[in-house]
Homo-oligomer: A and B are copies of this chain.
Amino acid sequence: MKQCSKERLAAFDAACRRRGLRLTPQRLEIFRTLAAATDHPTAEQLHERLQRKMPTLSLDTVYRTLATLTQHELVNKVDTVESQAHFEVQEDSHHHLICHQCREISDFAWPLIDDFQLPEEVKSWGEVNRKSVTVYGICRKCRGKR
Distance between A69 CB and nearest chain B CB, rounded to angstroms: 14
Pair B105/A109 contact, Cβ less than 8 Å: no
Pair A122/B140 contact, Cβ less than 8 Å: no
Protomer copies = 2
B contact residues around A105 at 8 Å (CB): 39-40, 78, 80, 86
Q: Which of B86, B103, B131 contacts A82 (CB 8 A)?
A: B103
B contact residues around A18 at 8 Å (CB): none
**In the complex, per-residue mask of A75-86: 1 if CB is within 8 Å of any chain B CB, else 0:** 001111111111
Binds B, one of A2-10, A26-34, A93-101: A93-101
> How far is B118's CA from A109's CA once the two chains are assembled, in angstroms?
10
> How far is B82's CA from A100's CA once the two chains are assembled, in angstroms?
11
> How far is B119's CA from A107's CA once the two chains are assembled, in angstroms?
12
Would you mind naming 7 contact pairs between A and B with Cβ atoms under 8 Å apart?
A: A79-B96, A93-B114, A108-B125, A110-B118, A112-B116, A128-B137, A129-B137
Given contacts A93-B109, A129-B136, could you give 19 more A-B pairs where the C-beta distance is less than 8 Å? A40-B105, A77-B81, A78-B96, A79-B80, A79-B134, A80-B98, A94-B95, A94-B96, A94-B132, A99-B126, A100-B129, A106-B125, A116-B116, A118-B135, A124-B140, A125-B139, A126-B139, A127-B138, A127-B143
